[in-house]
Amino acid sequence: MRRLHGASLRVMIFIGESDTRHHKPLYGEIVHRAHQAGLAGASVYRGVEGFRASLPVHTSRPLPPSEDVPVAVVIVDEVARIRAFLPQLDELVEEELVILDEVEAIRCIGRDGKDKR
Protein backbone atom coordinates (compact mmCIF):
# COMPACT_ATOMS: atom_id res chain seq x y z
CA MET A 1 0.00 0.00 0.00
CA ARG A 2 1.27 3.47 -0.89
CA ARG A 3 1.73 6.12 1.75
CA LEU A 4 -0.82 8.88 1.82
CA HIS A 5 -0.04 11.81 4.05
CA GLY A 6 -0.49 15.56 3.74
CA ALA A 7 -2.17 17.61 1.03
CA SER A 8 -4.67 15.46 -0.87
CA LEU A 9 -7.85 15.79 -2.89
CA ARG A 10 -11.23 14.21 -2.27
CA VAL A 11 -13.57 13.73 -5.19
CA MET A 12 -17.21 12.95 -4.50
CA ILE A 13 -19.56 11.71 -7.19
CA PHE A 14 -23.29 11.89 -6.45
CA ILE A 15 -25.30 9.42 -8.52
CA GLY A 16 -28.35 7.20 -8.22
CA GLU A 17 -28.13 3.58 -7.14
CA SER A 18 -29.85 2.50 -10.37
CA ASP A 19 -27.40 4.38 -12.65
CA THR A 20 -25.56 1.90 -14.86
CA ARG A 21 -22.62 1.62 -17.23
CA HIS A 22 -22.67 -1.36 -19.63
CA HIS A 23 -25.53 -2.96 -17.62
CA LYS A 24 -23.56 -2.82 -14.33
CA PRO A 25 -23.88 -0.35 -11.44
CA LEU A 26 -22.11 2.93 -12.24
CA TYR A 27 -20.75 3.19 -8.70
CA GLY A 28 -19.04 -0.20 -9.17
CA GLU A 29 -17.45 0.91 -12.42
CA ILE A 30 -16.10 4.08 -10.79
CA VAL A 31 -14.61 2.11 -7.87
CA HIS A 32 -13.16 -0.50 -10.25
CA ARG A 33 -11.47 2.17 -12.36
CA ALA A 34 -10.14 3.97 -9.28
CA HIS A 35 -8.63 0.69 -8.12
CA GLN A 36 -7.12 0.03 -11.56
CA ALA A 37 -5.63 3.54 -11.50
CA GLY A 38 -3.90 2.67 -8.23
CA LEU A 39 -5.67 5.33 -6.20
CA ALA A 40 -5.37 5.19 -2.42
CA GLY A 41 -9.01 4.35 -1.73
CA ALA A 42 -12.65 4.64 -2.73
CA SER A 43 -15.88 4.04 -0.86
CA VAL A 44 -19.55 4.01 -1.84
CA TYR A 45 -22.15 5.41 0.55
CA ARG A 46 -25.85 4.70 0.13
CA GLY A 47 -28.01 7.67 1.00
CA VAL A 48 -31.16 7.74 3.04
CA GLU A 49 -32.82 10.48 1.04
CA GLY A 50 -31.91 12.96 -1.68
CA PHE A 51 -32.68 14.43 -5.07
CA ARG A 52 -30.87 15.43 -8.24
CA ALA A 53 -31.39 18.63 -10.19
CA SER A 54 -34.18 17.47 -12.50
CA LEU A 55 -35.50 14.47 -10.56
CA PRO A 56 -37.90 14.08 -7.62
CA VAL A 57 -36.83 13.32 -4.04
CA HIS A 58 -35.90 9.67 -3.57
CA THR A 59 -35.78 7.87 -0.26
CA SER A 60 -34.79 4.49 1.15
CA ARG A 61 -37.38 4.84 3.93
CA PRO A 62 -40.37 2.52 3.75
CA LEU A 63 -43.42 4.49 2.40
CA PRO A 64 -42.94 4.98 -0.42
CA PRO A 65 -40.03 2.74 -1.43
CA SER A 66 -37.71 4.21 -4.02
CA GLU A 67 -36.04 2.42 -6.85
CA ASP A 68 -33.21 4.93 -7.13
CA VAL A 69 -31.79 5.99 -3.77
CA PRO A 70 -28.88 8.43 -3.76
CA VAL A 71 -25.32 7.10 -3.75
CA ALA A 72 -22.06 8.98 -3.13
CA VAL A 73 -18.72 7.61 -4.32
CA VAL A 74 -15.79 9.11 -2.40
CA ILE A 75 -12.19 8.84 -3.60
CA VAL A 76 -9.13 10.31 -1.86
CA ASP A 77 -5.53 10.48 -3.05
CA GLU A 78 -2.65 12.82 -3.81
CA VAL A 79 -3.52 15.91 -5.83
CA ALA A 80 -1.73 14.80 -9.03
CA ARG A 81 -3.22 11.30 -8.95
CA ILE A 82 -6.80 12.55 -8.51
CA ARG A 83 -6.35 15.16 -11.26
CA ALA A 84 -5.02 12.43 -13.58
CA PHE A 85 -8.15 10.35 -12.82
CA LEU A 86 -10.66 13.13 -13.59
CA PRO A 87 -10.80 12.40 -17.38
CA GLN A 88 -12.08 8.90 -16.57
CA LEU A 89 -14.86 10.44 -14.47
CA ASP A 90 -15.71 12.76 -17.36
CA GLU A 91 -16.16 9.65 -19.50
CA LEU A 92 -18.34 7.84 -16.94
CA VAL A 93 -20.42 10.60 -15.35
CA GLU A 94 -22.55 12.62 -17.73
CA GLU A 95 -25.29 14.48 -15.83
CA GLU A 96 -24.41 13.98 -12.19
CA LEU A 97 -22.74 16.17 -9.59
CA VAL A 98 -18.99 15.76 -9.08
CA ILE A 99 -17.21 17.84 -6.45
CA LEU A 100 -13.54 18.18 -5.63
CA ASP A 101 -12.14 19.53 -2.40
CA GLU A 102 -8.78 19.82 -0.71
CA VAL A 103 -8.24 17.60 2.32
CA GLU A 104 -5.31 16.70 4.52
CA ALA A 105 -4.57 13.01 4.92
CA ILE A 106 -3.25 12.47 8.42
CA ARG A 107 -3.14 8.70 8.61
CA CYS A 108 -3.43 5.71 6.30
CA ILE A 109 -3.44 2.25 7.89
CA GLY A 110 -3.06 -0.89 5.80
CA ARG A 111 -4.61 -4.29 6.48
CA ASP A 112 -1.46 -5.35 8.32
CA GLY A 113 -2.31 -2.76 10.99
CA LYS A 114 0.86 -0.76 10.41
CA ASP A 115 0.64 3.01 10.25
CA LYS A 116 1.34 4.08 6.66
CA ARG A 117 2.14 7.72 7.47
pTM: 0.81
Query: How far apart are the C-alpha atoms of 32 and 106, rounded to whole Å?
Result: 25
Whether the pLDDT of residue 36 is over 80: the answer is yes
pLDDT tens-digit profile of 58-85? 665 554 555 678 899 999 999 999 999 9
Domains and CATH numbers, the chain: 6-105 (3.30.70.120)
Side chain identity, residue 10: R
Straight-line distance from the first to the last Cα atom of the chain, in angstroms, rounded to the nearest whole number? 11
Question: How far lies 14's CA from each of 3, 45, 100, 104, in Å?
Answer: 27, 10, 12, 22
